Copies of this chain bind each other. A is one copy, B any other.
Amino acid sequence: MDIVKELLAGSRLALSRAITSVENEYENAIQIMRDLYPHTGNAYVIGITGPPGAGKSTLTDKLAREYRRRGKTVGIIAIDPTSPFSGGAILGDRIRMNELTMDEGVFIRSMGTRGSLGGLSHKTGEVVKIMDAAGKDIVIVETVGVGQSEVDIAKAADTTLVVLVPGLGDDIQAIKAGILEIGDIFAINKADREGVDRLQVELEMMLDLNQYKVDWRPPINRVIASQNQGVSELLETIEKHSVWSKQTGEREVRHSKRIKNEMLSMLDEQIGRYIIKKMAESGEFDRLIKTVEQREQDPYTVVDGILKSILR
């Protein structure tokens, strides 16, 4: 039986294999995605992001449990901020989820950043679709909200949750400004810590300044994930955003945008590959690089020439 049929029939092994295939760009990856595509579009996608140390993993863990308690199946995609070179994954956080991994209604997958030149965002979208097709009601994508692609990933969700903690110093302030605008909901985690009121005031002030969201003022929820405090309320807030999003048409707008971005990134990636292959075959690229290195030609003129030779 083929992998997609097995996956649709509920096989966890097939689900795992499909993801591996896409992640490693195996030959059958595109066929898998083609076959899966008609079965996607049912999962609700939640992006969770925030600075290192905000406790995103723990909160993801607790949210997933809460969804399970309410009878929903959950897929979790954890983007590991690990080596883009070694492909190594830090498993510490994931081990905390052990209890969850024993639950048939939960599927957890860590993804590294290896081999990606902006490609991670695209691949994450594919893994979301795979979990969606496999029947997960909720798909949570967890990223460290610091780089551009991490931000891209988090905002490609139906609801984006930004997790912050009190007392993380100045550089973190800068990061906060960057992820402020993608937050549909803010969670202040470790809310028993000193500085929680100040952080809330700062956040409210920032939200006051950013009037780009006129219909939905991002709520700020206080939680203590490690003690499971405020998690159920946070889930309710996500529900509220979901309802608002559907009623106002926001969900559809985001969906269109997501499809558009995915297609553009696919085009980008495939054209990139086409160029590299074509140039490698002829040895032409290496010859051209030499001329640029020796300053016989500037790279801009050379790139122009290549474009003219490959585009209609």
Contact = CB atoms under 8 A, between A and B. Distances in A.
Interface stretch (A2-10, A64-72, A256-264): A256-264
A226 interface: no
A86 interface: yes
A259 B287 CA distance: 12
Contacts of A28: none
Interface in A39-85: 41, 51-53, 80-85
30 contacts: A34-B301, A52-B171, A52-B175, A81-B174, A83-B180, A84-B178, A85-B178, A85-B182, A86-B177, A86-B181, A86-B210, A116-B148, A144-B146, A144-B171, A146-B147, A147-B147, A259-B289, A260-B285, A263-B285, A263-B299, A263-B303, A266-B299, A266-B303, A267-B307, A268-B268, A271-B272, A271-B307, A310-B311, A310-B312, A311-B312
A195 interface: no
A13 interface: no
A117 B120 CA distance: 12
Interface stretch (A184-192, A215-223, A235-243, A290-298): A290-298
Contacts of A255: 293
A37 interface: yes
Contacts of A271: 268, 271-272, 275, 307, 311
Contacts of A299: 37, 259, 262-263, 266
Contacts of A83: 177-178, 180-181
A113 interface: yes
